[in-house]
Amino acid sequence: MATIAQAAAHLCCSRAQFDQYLAEGVVTRQPSGKYDLDEVRREAFAHLRSVAAGRGGAAGDKLTAERAALTAAKRRREERQDELESGQVVRLAVVRRYLEQMLVGMRNRLLNLPGETAYMLAMRPQAECFEILDDSVRAALEEIADPAGAAARAAAAGVESKNGEPNRRDDNDSEKEDATDAAE
């Protein structure tokens, strides 16, 4: 049997380090002068092995926290991928590009309307001109007459397919744009 000072000397550590081992529960606290040096050595070496393996001490706690954070990040990534594949989430950048293209196409069609109808309107009475223009404008506006359908097509453009490939060929910038959209 040994005292605390003798047990610390047996482990080749300072009295302060031995006190820290006692406080952390590395070495079992015994009454003064009752420390079994073999047991103290086994407990200290077991602790040092766990610290060296990354499972103990302050470094082990930090490693455990980092592993938990990594696991949580992987879980969030997999949940997001599942949502994308099931169609619950869409990529905003792709939807935005689809809507922009749809609106630009509509703008171009309406701007070209006078040129398309000018020949048909030549030398016609006013009522006939009205009918021709009305039919042309209504046909051009039919594309956006169903907002739910247009929104569904836009959302479908942003949903990824089952194999993880986006429906759009220009997905390289979409992750940057998604991050920008999320920040806004």
Predicted confidence (pLDDT) at residue 90 exceeds the cutoff of 50: yes
pLDDT of residue 74: 95
Tell me the mean pLDDT in the region 68-77. Answer: 93
For 76-86, the pLDDT digits (tens) are 999 988 887 77
Which phi and psi (to 5°) does residue 35 adopt? -80, 125
Residue 12: per-residue pLDDT: 92
Average pLDDT for 22-46: 90
With a pLDDT cut of 90, the percent of the chain lying above it is: 20
CB atoms within 10 A of CB 23: 10
The CA distances from residue 120 to 81, 112, 131, in Å, are: 53, 14, 11
Candidate from 19-28, 113-122, 155-164 with smallest mean pLDDT: 155-164
Cβ atoms of 15 and 5 closer than 8 Å: yes
Quickly list DSSP for 70-138.
HHHHHHHHHHHHHHHHHTS---HHHHHHHHHHHHHHHHHHHHTHHHHHHHHHTT--HHHHHHHHHHHHH
Please give the average per-residue pLDDT across 96-123, as a whole number: 83
**What's residue 37's pLDDT?**
92
Long-range CB pairs of 3-9 (<8 Å, 24+ gap) are 3/32, 3/33, 3/35, 4/32, 4/35, 6/35, 6/37, 7/35, 7/37, 7/40
pTM for the whole structure: 0.37
What's the rounded mean pLDDT across residues 115-144? Answer: 82
d(CA 2, CA 15): 14
Longest dimension (CA), the chain: 121
pLDDT of 107 higher than 80 = yes
CB 117 within 8 A of CB 133: yes
d(CA 90, CA 80): 10
